[in-house]
A and B are shown apart, each in its own frame.
Chain A
């Protein structure tokens, strides 16, 4: 029994045939799952970018403000958050800070953008809804990913990393419009 000491050399104990079969299946399945991740890097379209830099929050804020200055097309919400429509293929900055995503971004469908994410203070979570993409946002790190919206509509960025008592009010917006 499993609660009693074992006499004799357990290493030489015979295996049950079922054990051998199950272990082989499980081992092969492990290899399949391991390969699946590599395969997706080659053929898959959804991979998190490896491009990241250390950055001073103030520098990141300056980049963002420059972009806002250049490409603002309007304002949205009670607090007047700028709506920014940068050209396809360009560098787009999104600030995470207590407790807002700034600014509102407007993208064209089926165009790619280099989205830069960083936080001004604590960690936040970039949760793009309803498409459902979830990425961690750190202060002092700038993540750069290429994003290609493939549907038009209103999308929201919910903060999904706990960031203090206003965490649940931290919602941003990304609008995707048809190609102009």
Chain B
């Protein structure tokens, strides 16, 4: 055999790819298909889960009270699983493949494994959903022992997690190939860096999940007789909370990606933004602590140290991104000439572009509503005022719905044209969607937090306690809050429906995005084909200074108000 033939035989058959007309990136067909299937699965679960969310919210509206008790708890379990686990994690798989294969111009490592992972995730998610809908597993997605679900509920979630783990491995493999084959020069893009953060945390998360769910599954089929309830929570939340840190990393990466694509924004300095991502990994440790503040048998020292993730350094990471992003946007806008006054750059931002408006609302609401309430709720003693009240779902609808979900929705408006290569149908609906959904979600977050502040319990079918021996009347404002929450839920559901209609409709019936369409309707901000060395150090950014100052004052004020509230309740020690 000649040397040439040998080389030919050893060389990998060249995989099919295209050059993206919008970004100039090399898009491999297999990666593209995997992004599509994961994104589609995600949207289907969002639609299903959102519907359950609406039913739950309407039931909690005392004047409507739509579901009977048993169905309510089933719907609530289905809601939590479908949206928090399945919608978000399927979408994150799509993001991982995008941030590795697409952004690095690289083929996907082991696409067959990626498919296997996807199939496991589908089988697992369907199995768990069926288990819940059969009615024998209304244990809430946290499935605290000793309340027992059907075995296939746990098994479904385990399969789903194994599938997600395979996806992470494919992601890491793709990074290695990209480096070896030199498909990019220098350091990976910031967005990919954020995705790496998410994937590393995901591995830790899934390991914790295995440690707790495998024994729980064995217990449900009778191989293990007892699971300690406090230990269960400790390990369960090592999974449950870390997975929220995956969401934060992923949606912050998405924020940067949207700001870059739509406005050509680059971070004020790569060093700071990347270090902020690193803080998420380094100070995650026992983040499950703030879920255990009201539990017996755990010392205060442990709680104080771990709930603050060792002196709030992960919060520091988020606060850094919270300044870096508006800073990057302001800098990009000013460079493009929108220089009028302190906020001219913001007024002139592309508010009609749902990718941008969704991203910016996500950023603001995640910080102001989700971030501040999270830190307050996670303060050891203040937690006594809020533990298991509606304040908790109020808080996390601000983080995981207004933050993560809205950011993922926003980026979908770029994924549809860039990856599915379809023009959006119903552009007017798309334009309004982030606002309708955003306002609705802001409402459910705030009103649930409000009701929680008044002591209203979470996961509770009837706050009038009609069948109880003793009945207690929550204050009238609490009922008002629940009504407003119901109205906001309808708004959020309408926004969610708009999203599903536009996305599914565009994928099925949208005009194919060809050369002409790309010219006529460019998506990616012109210029800035590569990141050049050097930050935005020279620009003055007064708008961002005002924004972060307002944020900081709101934070400090609200934090101390809650200490004041605490000081008024019965002394206990």
Which A residues form the contact surface with B (CB < 8 A)?
A: 1-8, 10-19, 22-23, 25-27, 29-31, 33-34, 36-38, 40-41, 44-50, 52, 54, 76-79, 81, 100, 117, 121-123, 125, 127-143, 145-151, 156, 158-165, 167-173
Chain B binding surface SS class = loop
- A79 and B474 alpha carbons, distance in the complex (Å): 23
Tell me the number of A-to-B contacts counted with CB atoms below 8 Å.
Answer: 335
- A33 and B535 alpha carbons, distance in the complex (Å): 31
Given A49-B573, A138-B295, A13–B327 Cβ distance below 8 Å? Answer: no
Contacts of B327 in A (CB 8 A): 16, 18-19
Q: How far does the Cβ of B449 sit from chain A's closest Cβ, in whole Å?
A: 14
Q: How far does the Cβ of B98 sit from chain A's closest Cβ, in whole Å?
A: 10
Interface bracket on B: 35 or more
Which of B269, B313, B375 lies in contact with A15, CB distance below 8 A?
Answer: B269
Residue among B229, B273, B529 with most chain A CB within 10 A:
B229
User: Is B467 interfacial (CB 8 A cutoff)?
Assistant: yes
Q: Name which residue of chain A comes closest to B76, CB basis.
A: A162
A7 and B531 within 8 A (CB): yes
Contacts of A135 in B (CB 8 A): 294, 384, 387
Which of A44, A121, A163, A173 lies in contact with B381, CB distance below 8 A?
Answer: A44
- A125 and B456 alpha carbons, distance in the complex (Å): 12
Given A30-B313, A37-B379, A47-B300, A2–B569 Cβ distance below 8 Å? Answer: no
Residue among A17, A22, A100, A149 with most chain B CB within 10 A:
A22
Given A138-B296, A145-B572, A2–B304 Cβ distance below 8 Å? Answer: no
Contacts of B387 in A (CB 8 A): 125, 134-136, 160
Which of B271, B316, B379 lies in contact with A30, CB distance below 8 A?
Answer: B316
Q: How far does the Cβ of B287 sit from chain A's closest Cβ, in whole Å?
A: 15
Those of B526-540 within 8 Å (CB) of chain A: 528-537, 539
Q: Name which residue of chain B comes closest to A146, CB basis.
A: B573
Contacts of B230 in A (CB 8 A): 138, 141
Mind listing 26 A-B residue pairs with CB under 8 Å?
Answer: A2-B531, A3-B260, A6-B186, A6-B190, A7-B185, A10-B533, A13-B535, A15-B269, A16-B327, A18-B545, A23-B316, A29-B555, A33-B312, A34-B304, A40-B381, A46-B566, A50-B300, A54-B297, A76-B470, A130-B474, A134-B294, A135-B387, A140-B228, A141-B229, A156-B472, A170-B468
User: Is B50 interfacial (CB 8 A cutoff)?
Assistant: no
Q: Name which residue of chain B comes closest to A142, CB basis.
A: B296
- A146 and B389 alpha carbons, distance in the complex (Å): 22
Those 3 A-B pairs whose CB atoms lie nearest each other, nearest first: A30-B312, A143-B296, A8-B533
Contacts of A131 in B (CB 8 A): 569-570
Which of B188, B379, B383, B544 lies in contact with A33, CB distance below 8 A?
Answer: B379
A3 and B189 within 8 A (CB): yes
A45 and B191 within 8 A (CB): no
A10 and B455 within 8 A (CB): no
Contacts of B467 in A (CB 8 A): 168-169
A16 and B265 within 8 A (CB): no
B532 and A7 within 8 A (CB): yes
A165 and B311 within 8 A (CB): no
User: Is B251 interfacial (CB 8 A cutoff)?
Assistant: no
Which of A46, A122, A171 lies in contact with B470, CB distance below 8 A?
Answer: A171
Contacts of B261 in A (CB 8 A): 3
Q: How far does the Cβ of A89 sit from chain B's closest Cβ, in whole Å?
A: 14
- A161 and B143 alpha carbons, distance in the complex (Å): 12
A17 and B537 within 8 A (CB): yes
Residue among A2, A15, A138, A164 with most chain B CB within 10 A:
A2
Q: Name which residue of chain B comes closest to A15, CB basis.
A: B269
Q: How far does the Cβ of A23 sit from chain B's closest Cβ, in whole Å?
A: 6
Contacts of B384 in A (CB 8 A): 46, 48, 133-135
User: Is B556 interfacial (CB 8 A cutoff)?
Assistant: yes
Given A3-B257, A13-B270, A16-B327, A46–B569 Cβ distance below 8 Å? Answer: yes
Given A45-B573, A49-B572, A168-B461, A30–B385 Cβ distance below 8 Å? Answer: no
- A25 and B545 alpha carbons, distance in the complex (Å): 13
A148 and B570 within 8 A (CB): yes
Contacts of B383 in A (CB 8 A): 134
Given A5-B186, A143-B296, A160-B458, A168–B308 Cβ distance below 8 Å? Answer: no
User: Is B471 interfacial (CB 8 A cutoff)?
Assistant: yes
Q: Name which residue of chain A comes closest to B266, CB basis.
A: A1
B528 and A1 within 8 A (CB): yes
A37 and B294 within 8 A (CB): no
- In the complex, given contacts A4-B260, A137-B296, A160-B388, what are 10 additional A-B residue pairs having Cβ atoms less than 8 angstroms apart? A5-B184, A15-B271, A16-B272, A29-B555, A34-B304, A37-B304, A48-B300, A135-B387, A139-B146, A158-B460
User: Is B484 interfacial (CB 8 A cutoff)?
Assistant: no
- A155 and B328 alpha carbons, distance in the complex (Å): 52
Contacts of B187 in A (CB 8 A): 5-6, 10
Contacts of A52 in B (CB 8 A): 296-297
A162 and B459 within 8 A (CB): yes
Which of B312, B320, B530, B536 lies in contact with A23, CB distance below 8 A?
Answer: B320
Given A4-B189, A26-B320, A10–B296 Cβ distance below 8 Å? Answer: no
User: Is B541 interfacial (CB 8 A cutoff)?
Assistant: yes
A129 and B257 within 8 A (CB): no
